[in-house]
Structure 1
């Protein structure tokens, strides 16, 4: 029972660590998908007295995707009831040309201003509307979500690492008698600490499996899928091999470092 309790003492902090690390990754992927979705709906409107095409815009905007001329027919049709055909024709010839530019990405505030400045230098362009007020608000919200999730996760990681170190020290003192005997017989550092490293590896594997399975099944939870559908998003599926391998590597690294630190400390204290 004590052995099982000791294992839980390491597994739970490791689960918290890995959960937060994967949560940061998940939030990042969801935000990327949202930015992609926003980029599909985001347009820059350009007013120009001359014809524009992709050859005019592409050299200036590295993430340029397409340009489309916006028709004025609907506006002119409404005005045709109130003005003569001659005046309507004059108005039509004097109207500037309107274009909608789509980008491959959802631009940052700085990049958007850079694009606007470049487009205004194009010959014939008189106005560029980037809808900066709405865009800036959305972009800042996305960045805020990123920062909050990162700060929260970092705090949990620090707390979890402290708990792992504490549990390793408990393990060390429980094996103190065995280590003392092995020290008297001249056992090497690795031989004395072998049991602790073995326990750390086993607990790392168990924690990794639990976290990987949880995130793999997360998109299938009805509550989660409903909430994501409400905002038009989808939780990315977890690649078990890649994500599981990454989490296992992180878990093993942290556990082995924790055991090494505790054993080095014990060696200095001649335990």
Structure 2
């Protein structure tokens, strides 16, 4: 029973690290997917004194993916109720040209400033409306949310690693007498520490497969999908191959590294 409790504490500690890592990946994928949605709805308006070829505007900055000239007909229609046709045509010629610029992805505030500066290098462009206040607020909120989740995940990982290190140290003390006797008979260090490494690897495998089952279940659950659909994004919550290999690699690596540090520290004390 006591052995089961020791295994359970190590498995739970590893699960905490794995869950923190996977949650961070989900948040990162969600933010990137949401930025794609924002990019499709976010655009910049450029005002020009004369007509500019769309190809020339696309060459201004690689972030511009599409250019659409806005028709002035709706504005003229409101103003031309009592105007003659000749005056309407003249008004069309004198009005500035408006261009709606769609971007390839949701830019950073610095990229918006750079784009605006590049547009003004064209002497024909007199005004650029980048809606910077709304853009900067949204971008900073996304960045803040990601940083908070990253900090939380980092704290969980650091604290949990210390707990795993302490748990492995307890197991080393429990087997200290056996290891000392084996050392007196000339057993190599890796052979004396085989139990510790076996514990670390087995518990890492158990934690990885538990995490695999949990995240696979969550990724297939309709309620989870509904939550992401409600905010208009569609992401891979859990990739059974790539994510599982990453989880397995992290769990085994942490366990082996900590076990190695403990073994080397024991050797120094001897």
How far residue 223 of structure 1 moved from its aligned partner, in angstroms, is 3.9
Q: Describe the superposition over 1:110-168 as per-residue Cα deviations: whole angstroms up to 9, x where unpaired.
A: 00010001101113111111110110000000100110010000000001101100110
Task: Answer yes or no: is 1:60 the counterpart of 2:60.
Answer: yes
For structure 1, which segment, 172-181 or 53-62, has the greater mean C-alpha deviation from structure 2 after superposition?
53-62
Residue 67 of structure 1 aligns to a residue in which SS? strand
Figure out how many residues of one structure are paired with residues of the other and give that number: 270
In 1, the alpha carbon distance for the partners of 2:18 and 2:179 equals 31
Deviation, 1:6, is: 1.1
CA deviation profile, 1:204-250 (whole Å, cap 9, x unmatched): 11111222332233233344333322221234242211111111111
For 1:153, the equivalent position in structure 2 comes to 153
CA offsets, 1:52-85, max 9 Å, x none?
Answer: 2342123321222110111111222222224444
Matches within 5 A, 1:1-271: 1-270=1-270
Aligned-residue CA RMSD (Å) = 1.5
Q: Secondary structure of the equivalent of 1:246?
A: helix
Measured in 1, the distance between the counterparts of 2:130 and 2:195 equals: 62
TM-score by length of 1: 0.94
Displaced runs of 4+ in structure 1, greater than 6 A? Answer: none
User: Hey, what's the Cα distance between the residues in 2 that align with 1:269 and 1:252?
Assistant: 26
Distance (whole Å) between structure 2 residues aligned to residue 254 and residue 32 of structure 1: 28
Report which stretch shifted further, 174-183 or 9-18: 174-183
Consecutive unaligned residues of structure 2, counting only runs of 5 or more, are: none
CA offset at residue 50 of structure 1? 2.0
CA contact 1:47–1:128 (8 Å) conserved in 2: yes
Q: Distance in 2 between matches of 1:195 and 1:127?
A: 72
Structure 1: gaps (5+ residues): none
Distance in 1 (CA, whole Å) between partners of 2:159 and 2:212 is 21
Work out whether residues 13 and 164 of structure 1, in 8 Å CA contact, stay in contact via their aligned partners in 2.
yes
Quick one: structure 1 residues 59 and 90, their matched pair in 2 at CA, closer, same or farther if it must change by over 3 Å? closer
> Residues 24-66 of structure 1, C-alpha deviation per residue, up to 9 Å, x if partnerless?
1111111111111111111111111222234212332122211
TM-score between both structures, scaled by the size of structure 2: 0.95
Kept after mapping to 1: 8 A contact 2:219/2:238: no
Q: Residue 219 of structure 1 contacts residue 235 of structure 1 at CA under 8 Å; is this kept in 2?
A: no
**C-alpha contact 2:33 2:235 (8 A) present in aligned 1:** no
Paired with 2:259 and 2:67, the residues of 1 have a C-alpha distance of 59
SS at match of 2:241: helix
SS in 2 for 1:186: coil
